[in-house]
Chain A
C-alpha cells in the first residue's frame, strides 16, 4: 500500500494499453524531432538535383518540387509543429488556470468580467483573428505560438472555474476555512492540486488542437513561412490537384504524422485522466 503518488499514477497509467503505446509513440516522435539536426540526411532547405523525385535509396521519402529532401523536412517540420504545440499549450494553460482560479474563487464581479471576456474570445473566429494578426505582425513561428496561445485559453479557464466552484463547496475546503486558513493558502494547497489532473488532461487536448491549428494555418499559408518546414506547410503542395494525384509522397507522410501525433496525444490524455485519479479502482 505504501507507494508514492507518482508510482501509483504510473501503475494506473499502465492499465491503459492504448495510452502506453501512444506515450511511446509520442516519445519516439519527439526524440526524432529533437535529434533532427543529427539524424536528418540533408539540410531541410538544401536543394538537390532531382526535383519531385519518388522515394529512392538516396531520398527515402522522395524530394519536393524544388528538390528538398522530404524526410529531412519531415523531421524538422515535426520539430516546429511540436514546438508550436507545446509552447501554445503552455501559454494558454497558464492564462486559463490563473483566470479560472480567480473567477472561481473570488466570484462576484471579477467572475462576471472574466467569464464575459472568455465568452468573447471563445466566440471569435480564430481564422479571422489570425488573418488580421498576420496583417499586423509578421507571420512566423513566434506569432503563431502567441496567437494560438491567446486563442485557446478560454476552455481551460472555464474548466478550472467550474472545478473551483464545485471544490469550494466541498467539506474539506470548508474545513480549512473553519481552521482559519487564508484564501490563497486554500487555493493553492486544497484546490489547485485537485484541479491539476483535469488541467493536465485538458492540456493534452489543447496541445492536439494546437498542432492541428498550426497545420491548418500553415496549409493556408498564414502560419509557418517557408523555407522553414512545418507539418502544415509541407501539406501546402497538396493544394494542387497534380500533386495530390501524382505525387503522394509529398503529402502522405506529413499527413499521416499529424494524424498519429494528434491521436497519440489524445490517448495519452485519456490514460492520464484515469491515472491521476487516486479514487479509481486500480
Chain B
C-alpha cells in the first residue's frame, strides 16, 4: 500500500522484516490493482461503448483481526469492491490475494474452501435471509453443505451461534419476518459466522437501522472480533459508524482510494479535501458549532464514464489549481507514527495540496 503499484505487477505481497515469522507478516487479504469496468449501454446503435469505471485500480491490505473501513458516497465503487472480494463479480484487471493465494486463479477445491473463509453481510437484512426458511435451516444449511458440522452437532452449534449474537434459543424455530431489522442483522451475522470465516465483508450493515440499534450491532461486531479474531471489511457511506469500528479507513472517490490511514488519523487530521468534506457532513451534536460551509463540495460528481484528466476531485475541490486538472495525484505518505512493517500507521493521501506540492 505504501506505493501505488502498477496493475501488471501482480506479485503476492511479502512481509518485509525477515526476522519475524512469515505467518505473522502476511496480510489476510491483499487487493492489487483491482479494476472493474462496466460496459455502458449506448442509445446509439453503432456508437463505441463507454465504460463505467466502478473500481479503477485500487490497492490495500487487510491484516488478521483488523477492521478496515471503506467509505465514500454512493457510486464510488466501494460496494463493487466488496462484491469483487466476495467473488460474486469478476475483476476486469488486477486481483485479490487471500493469504497469498490468487482468489481468481485457483482450483475448484481451493475455491470451495476459500469460499467458507470470506463471508458477507448486507445492508438489507430482510433480503439477506430466505423468507421461506426457518432460522434453523438458514443457519444449518451452509454448515451441512460444507460438512463443517454433521447433523448431530449442528443443533448445538446453532444454539452457540445464536447465543454469540445475543438472540434467544427459540429464535431458530421462527421465520425471518418475525424479527426486527436489528435482530435480522444479528441472524445475518450468525449466518456469516457459521462457517468460521476469517474475513467478513460488511456492506453497509447498519445503514438501514436506527441509531440505537446501530450502536448495538457495531458493539456486537466489535465483541465478536475480540472473541474470534475475525477481520472485517466495513463498507459505509457515512464516516460515523466507520470511524467507530475501524482500525484503518480508506476513502474512495470515483473508483479510486484518495486517502487511507489509521482511523483516528484520517478522522481527526483529514488530509484530502474530499475526506474533509465527508467529515464535515457528519452532523455535530452542538448547535453553536455550525458545519463549515466551505468544506462541503460544490458541483456534481463527474461521470464515471468520461473521467476527467488529472485529479478526479478537482472539479469540486476548493483548493484545485492547474496542476490538479492536468496530472493525477498518487497516494503519498502524509504522516506516519513509526514503522511496523505492515504500513498500519501510515497515513496517505492522493492530493498535491495535502502533500504540499502545489
The reply to whether A178 and B86 form a contact with Cβ atoms under 8 Å apart is yes
Is B115 an interface position by the 8 A CB rule?
yes
The reply to whether B128 and A175 form a contact with Cβ atoms under 8 Å apart is yes
Is A45 an interface position by the 8 A CB rule?
no
**Within A153-176, which residues are at the interface with B (CB < 8 Å)?**
170-172, 174-176
The reply to whether A172 and B87 form a contact with Cβ atoms under 8 Å apart is no
**Within B158-195, which residues are at the interface with A (CB < 8 Å)?**
170, 173-175, 177-178, 191, 195
Tell me the bound Cα distance from A39 to B170 in angstroms. 52
Is A189 an interface position by the 8 A CB rule?
yes
Tell me the bound Cα distance from A8 to B357 in angstroms. 68
Is B145 an interface position by the 8 A CB rule?
yes
The reply to whether A171 and B127 form a contact with Cβ atoms under 8 Å apart is yes
Taking CB atoms, residues of chain A closer than 8 Å to B111 are 180
Is B274 an interface position by the 8 A CB rule?
no
Closest to A179 in B: B142
Taking CB atoms, residues of chain B closer than 8 Å to A176 are 142
Among candidates B115, B120, B127, residue contacting A170 with C-beta atoms closer than 8 Å:
B127
Taking CB atoms, residues of chain B closer than 8 Å to A179 are 115-116, 119, 142, 145-146, 195
Among candidates A1, A172, A178, residue contacting B127 with C-beta atoms closer than 8 Å:
A172
The reply to whether A185 and B124 form a contact with Cβ atoms under 8 Å apart is no
The reply to whether A180 and B128 form a contact with Cβ atoms under 8 Å apart is no
CB distance from B49 to the nearest CB of A (A): 18
Taking CB atoms, residues of chain A closer than 8 Å to B146 are 179-180
The reply to whether B177 and A178 form a contact with Cβ atoms under 8 Å apart is no
Chain A contributes a number of interface residues (CB within 8 A of B) equal to 22
The reply to whether A181 and B120 form a contact with Cβ atoms under 8 Å apart is no
Is B341 an interface position by the 8 A CB rule?
no
Among candidates A1, A172, A177, A180, residue contacting B129 with C-beta atoms closer than 8 Å:
A172
Tell me the bound Cα distance from A189 to B128 in angstroms. 15
The reply to whether B173 and A2 form a contact with Cβ atoms under 8 Å apart is yes
The reply to whether A175 and B178 form a contact with Cβ atoms under 8 Å apart is no
Tell me the bound Cα distance from A194 to B133 in angstroms. 10
Is B211 an interface position by the 8 A CB rule?
no
Taking CB atoms, residues of chain A closer than 8 Å to B156 are none
Tell me the bound Cα distance from A194 to B119 in angstroms. 23
Chain B contributes a number of interface residues (CB within 8 A of A) equal to 31
Taking CB atoms, residues of chain B closer than 8 Å to A279 are 131, 177
Is A37 an interface position by the 8 A CB rule?
no
The reply to whether A175 and B173 form a contact with Cβ atoms under 8 Å apart is no
Q: Scan B114-155; emit 1 where CB is below 8 A from any A CB, else 0.
A: 011011101010011111110000000110011000000000
Tell me the bound Cα distance from A183 to B146 in angstroms. 15
The reply to whether A175 and B131 form a contact with Cβ atoms under 8 Å apart is no
Closest to A177 in B: B88
Taking CB atoms, residues of chain B closer than 8 Å to A2 are 170, 173-174
Tell me the bound Cα distance from A172 to B86 in angstroms. 14
The reply to whether A190 and B145 form a contact with Cβ atoms under 8 Å apart is no
Taking CB atoms, residues of chain B closer than 8 Å to A177 are 87-88
Is B112 an interface position by the 8 A CB rule?
yes
Taking CB atoms, residues of chain B closer than 8 Å to A5 are 132
Q: Scan B25-65; emit 1 where CB is below 8 A from any A CB, else 0.
A: 00000000000000000000000000000000000000000
The reply to whether B174 and A1 form a contact with Cβ atoms under 8 Å apart is yes
Taking CB atoms, residues of chain B closer than 8 Å to A194 are 130-132
Is A193 an interface position by the 8 A CB rule?
yes
Tell me the bound Cα distance from A178 to B176 in angstroms. 20
Tell me the bound Cα distance from A194 to B130 in angstroms. 8
Q: Scan A117-154; emit 1 where CB is below 8 A from any B CB, else 0.
A: 00000000000000000000000000000000000000
Tell me the bound Cα distance from A196 to B118 in angstroms. 31
Is A226 an interface position by the 8 A CB rule?
no
The reply to whether A278 and B120 form a contact with Cβ atoms under 8 Å apart is no
Tell me the bound Cα distance from A265 to B119 in angstroms. 45
Tell me the bound Cα distance from A172 to B145 in angstroms. 15
CB distance from B115 to the nearest CB of A (A): 3
Taking CB atoms, residues of chain B closer than 8 Å to A180 are 111-112, 115-116, 146
Closest to A181 in B: B145
Tell me the bound Cα distance from A9 to B191 in angstroms. 26
CB distance from A1 to the nearest CB of B (A): 6
Q: Among the interface residues A5, A178, A278, which one has the most CB atoms of the partner chain B within 10 A? A: A178
**Within A203-233, which residues are at the interface with B (CB < 8 Å)?**
none
Taking CB atoms, residues of chain A closer than 8 Å to B177 are 278-279
The reply to whether B130 and A190 form a contact with Cβ atoms under 8 Å apart is yes
Taking CB atoms, residues of chain B closer than 8 Å to A1 are 170, 173-174, 178
**Within A1-42, which residues are at the interface with B (CB < 8 Å)?**
1-2, 5
State whether A178 and B175 are in contact (beta carbons under 8 Å apart), knowing that A171-B127, A194-B131, A194-B132 are contacts in the complex: no
Tell me the bound Cα distance from A178 to B82 in angstroms. 11
- Show 23 A/B contacts (Cβ-Cβ < 8 Å), sorted by A: A1-B173, A1-B174, A2-B174, A5-B132, A170-B127, A171-B124, A171-B128, A172-B129, A174-B122, A175-B122, A175-B191, A177-B88, A178-B86, A178-B88, A178-B115, A178-B118, A180-B115, A180-B146, A181-B145, A190-B130, A194-B130, A278-B132, A278-B177
Give A contacts to B, CB under 8 Å.
Answer: 1-2, 5, 170-172, 174-181, 185, 189-190, 193-194, 196, 278-279
Give B contacts to A, CB under 8 Å.
Answer: 86-88, 111-112, 115-116, 118-120, 122, 124, 127-133, 141-142, 145-146, 170, 173-175, 177-178, 191, 195
The 3 nearest A-B residue pairs measured at CB: A180-B115, A171-B128, A171-B122
Taking A1-B173, A179-B116, A278-B175 as known contacts, 17 extra A-B pairs with beta carbons closer than 8 A to each other, sorted by chain A number, are: A1-B170, A2-B170, A2-B173, A171-B122, A172-B128, A172-B129, A174-B88, A174-B122, A178-B86, A178-B88, A178-B118, A179-B115, A185-B145, A193-B133, A194-B132, A278-B132, A279-B177
